[in-house]
Amino acid sequence: MAGPSEKKEKVKKEKVLKEKVATSSGQKKKDVKKETGLGLSVKKDENFGDWYSEVCKQDMIEYYDISGCYILRPWSMAIWEIMQIFFDAEIKKMKVKNCYFPLFVSPAVLEKEKDHIEGFAPEVAWVTKSGKSDLEIPIAIRPTSETVMYPYYSKWIRGHRDLPLKLNQWCNVVRWEFSNPTPFIRSREFLWQEGHTAFATKAEADEEVLQILELYRRIYEEYLAVPVVKGMKSENEKFAGGLYTTSVEAFIPNTGRGVQGATSHCLGQNFAKMFEINYENEKAETAMVWQNSWAYSTRTIGVMIMTHGDDKGLVLPPKVASVQVVVIPVPYKDANTQGIYDACTATASALCEAGIRAEEDLRDNYSPGWKYSDWEMKGVPLRIEIGPRDLENDQVRTVRRDNGVKEDIPRGSLVENVKELLEKIQQNMYEVAKQKREACVQEVKTWDEFIKALNEKKLILAPWCDEEEVERDVKARTKGETGAAKTLCSPFDQPELPEGTLCFASGKPAKKWTYWGRSY
Ligand code: 87F
């Protein structure tokens, strides 16, 4: 039931709505924003780029005075930490140990990886001065840590008993990107974990690649409620220094772009050769190790924001939200205000004691309606409202952020009901995101179908001959302002490929189904 102050809010909102309808453009909405400081001035469907930066800027990110660098505010850092706790515990179960290597790389060591670094060289940032004097030898800032770590792997791995060596570090890396920086998705400095492991056999390395990839899938699907495809990168798109690259790929329906969510590489013995990572095997022969490397970064948060956010702002999946439930008092003048405030505090405490991340909002300088909008913008999954009627009936009113559904629940079963609701929200967010993605998948067989689907921002699944030259050709033929189309991955879960199916691009016999699209 709506209390009088809620009704007042509703009347106000309706007035605003009428005014909005009365004017032709979104100008009115901008005015509302100016007056209250609340709400977004752009709609997700109308201008996705502006919508995204506005949503990020509300609570997640502060822009910085160096282009491509962003401040991660507590609201986003908390999400990173929750994922970190999960992943860190999982890799520890796999006997991976954490370590920390320096941020700086000497040119001599960086050069060792010359062949593979070549394409990346323009992105490497260098320190050339200390104070006013030039450094004798400039030093690079790590863009990734293969060259930093592997000289020490060579030193530490001597005999078969030193294997496997499984290390991970949580750190920042710097890649001086020149193309269009985007918060979380493409920044010049970002946070990640990088795992680097060495084994005696390829079989062990192969197995770990997939174990890690499964953890990445779980981060996206179970934590961020973002559906991903697990698959193999093409020869063109794999990490050039490695043997093969697996990835989880997400898709953003609004822009029709794929986004590489995380990668798990088998490096084979390439780096072992370069860095002389040898050991004496059981037969007293010299052998070379097999290596993997794997990483996920703060990009995960950007993918989550893009997937779930709406015209009211962020929508956070309960599993990663630092505040899962916000409790808001809805008092009005003749009511027992103190009683309502106390009920809010007691409700939040009871939830916290049960391990739910809950907070009451007792600020006395904002109306309930203002607070509703504020917490909606922040994306808190569940709102609890307590007004005089609720107090009387020994109940609370819940409002879901994902679908707006309201439900009154008895205070006696508060904890169970809220737990259940949070699980439902998590599940629903994943299902909705998956349906939206599925609606974008387009199977094509011919070049014309491919071009049509590409223009319609589809996630394209096409039979492909798996030839590097053909992928390069597709890139060249689709090059435009919005970027070229390329392979995203060949899904491990392959649909049936009937005998005689031809490649959509070359007309040669197709070897596999592959996802194609523009990408971030
Ligand atoms: C940019 C500048 C210099 C990507 C770069 O994916 C070097 C590189 O080596 C570079 N951008 N890469 C590839 C990174 C490969 C690999 N490293 C460890 C990973 C997972 C973690």
Residues with CB under 6 A from ligand 1: 117, 120, 123-124, 143-144, 146, 175, 194, 239, 263, 265, 293-295
Find the radius of gyration of the CA atoms of the chain. 26
Nearest atom (ligand 1) to Cα of 263: 6
Q: Which of 103, 192, 237, 239 to mutate to test the pocket of ligand 1 (most atoms within 8 A of CB)?
A: 239
Task: Measure 408 CA to ligand 1 centroid, in angstroms.
Answer: 51
What's the pLDDT at 33?
59
Does this model's pTM top 0.85? My answer is yes
Residue nearest to atom 13 of ligand 1 (CA): 239
Quote the Cα angle for 433-214-444, to 5°. 55
| pLDDT at 34 (0 to 100) | 52
Q: Which sign, positive or negative, has the C-alpha torsion 91, 96, 97, 99?
A: negative
Residue 36, pLDDT score: 56
Question: Residue 4 has what pLDDT?
Answer: 43
Query: How much distance in Å is there from the Cα of 240 to the middle of ligand 1?
Result: 9
Within a 10 A sphere around the Cβ of 320, how many other Cβ atoms?
Answer: 24
DSSP string, 69-96: -EEE-HHHHHHHHHHHHHHHHHHHHTT-
Q: What is the DSSP string of 209-244?
A: HHHHHHHHHHIIIIIS----EEEE--TTTS-TTSSE
Tell the residue nearest (CA) to atom 14 of ligand 1: 144
Within a 10 A sphere around the Cβ of 193, how many other Cβ atoms?
Answer: 20
What's the CA-to-centroid distance between 239 and ligand 1, angstroms? 7
**488 in helix, strand or coil?**
strand
Cα of 119 from ligand 1 centre, angstroms: 11
Structure confidence at residue 335 (pLDDT): 77
* Angstrom distance (rounded) from CA 36 to CA 370: 8
Instruction: Name the residue of 116, 144, 196 whose CB sits within 8 Å of the most ligand 1 atoms, as the mutation to test its pocket.
Output: 144
Q: How is residue 494 annotated by DSSP?
A: P
3-class SS letters over 283-349? CCCEEECEEEEEEEECHHHHHHHHHHCECCECCCCCCCCCCCEEEEECCCCCCCHHHHHHHHHHHHH
User: What is the C-alpha separation between 101 and 144, in angstroms, rounded?
Assistant: 11
How is residue 478 written in tokens? 């689709």
Geometric angle at alpha carbon 194, from 113 and 187, rounded to 5°: 85
Distance 182 CA to ligand 1 centre (A): 19
Concatenated DSSP letters for 144-172?
A: SSHHHHHHHHHHH--BGGG--EEEEEEEE
C-alpha 249/C-alpha 518 separation (Å) is 12
Q: How far apart are CA 40 and CA 127, in angstroms?
A: 40
Query: For ligand 1, what atom is nearest to the CA of residue 245?
Result: 6
257 CA distance to ligand 1 centroid (A)? Answer: 22
- Angstrom CA distances, 361 to 35, 328, 374, stand at 22, 5, 11
DSSP state of 58: I
Cβ 159 vs Cβ 167: under 8 Å = no
Check if the beta carbon of residue 444 is closer than 8 Å to that of residue 464: no
Show pLDDT as tens, one digit a residue, over the chain (520 residues): 344 444 444 444 444 433 333 344 444 455 555 555 678 999 999 999 999 999 999 999 999 999 999 999 999 999 999 999 999 999 999 999 999 999 999 999 988 877 777 789 999 999 999 999 999 999 999 999 999 999 999 999 999 999 999 999 999 999 999 889 999 999 999 999 999 999 999 999 999 999 999 999 999 999 999 999 999 999 999 999 999 999 999 999 999 999 999 999 999 999 999 999 999 999 999 999 999 999 999 999 999 999 999 999 999 999 999 999 999 999 987 778 999 999 999 999 999 999 999 999 999 999 999 999 999 999 999 999 999 999 999 999 999 999 999 999 999 999 999 999 999 999 999 999 999 999 999 999 999 999 999 999 999 999 999 999 999 999 999 998 889 999 999 999 999 999 999 999 999 999 999 999 999 9
CA–CA gap between residue 511 and residue 464 (Å, rounded): 6
Ligand 1: centre distance to CA 176 (Å): 13
60 within 8 A of 76, measured Cβ to Cβ: yes
Q: Which of 232, 210, 419, 415 is nearest to 294 (CA)?
A: 210
CA 143 to ligand 1 centroid distance, Å: 6
**Pairwise CA distance, residues 81 & 193, whole Å:** 12
Establish whether the linkage from the previous residue to 164 is cis, with ω within 30° of 0. Answer: yes
CA dist 473 and 471 (Å) reads 5
Strands 325-329 and 358-360: parallel
